[in-house]
Amino acid sequence: MNVVECDVPPGSMLSREVIEHAYFRDSYRAPLSRRELDIVDVFFGIFAHHPLWMKLLLIVRNKVASLAGLDAPTTSEVLNVEIKDRYVVGEKIGVWPIFSLSEDEVVAGRNNKHMDFRLSVLKVPDGDRTSVVVSTICTVHSLSGKLYLFFVVPFHRYGVQKLMANAIAAGRL
């Protein structure tokens, strides 16, 4: 169940300039044993299976964000992940709008007044194997964005690695 921290892969659709100037960024790589999965299946293999404790934390965070006037997913979106047959840029995948989509990568995220973030899920060749790399990039616009990340980053780092490890253990990747 190897999930390792890495750099954002050079083949990502994430902008190099945004990556280099990001206030926060991280990436995690894991082996993909099911190469036949398309990128949407890989995305949902990771992000459609939150443990209950994580769903509850997300619901509380989203309620607080909504009260602060920020665009945040609803409780229904967190609890009832909608999986469609087909996705296009501009639609939501899970709880986030899609900014770009290719055969090997989906970039989703959200723009808010305190910060913008992008989440990339990318299939990459890894020697004679294929891996999946999940990258998060945050650009802050205010002190409240920095404060938000100060509290959220430890949960984020643990959560992404846990979701990826769980997906591997369950055979979804």
* pLDDT tens-digit series, residues 68-115: 666 677 777 767 788 898 999 999 998 899 999 999 999 999 998 889
Sheet holding 129-140, edge to edge: 4-5, 24-31, 129-140, 115-126, 105-111, 96-101, 92-93
Taking residues 47-64, what's their average pLDDT?
Answer: 82
Query: What pLDDT is attached to residue 1?
Result: 53
Query: What pLDDT is attached to residue 152?
Result: 87
- Ramachandran category for residue 143: left, alpha or beta (phi over 0 → left; psi -120 to 50 → alpha): alpha
* pLDDT tens-digit series, residues 117-150: 999 999 999 888 999 999 999 999 999 889 889 9
Smallest CA-to-CA distance from 122 within 5, 8, 4, 23 is with 8
Distance of alpha carbon 14 from the chain centroid: 13
Domains of the chain, each with CATH number or no CATH? 4-169 (3.30.530)
> Which residues does 144 contact at the CB level (< 8 Å), separation at least 6?
68, 114
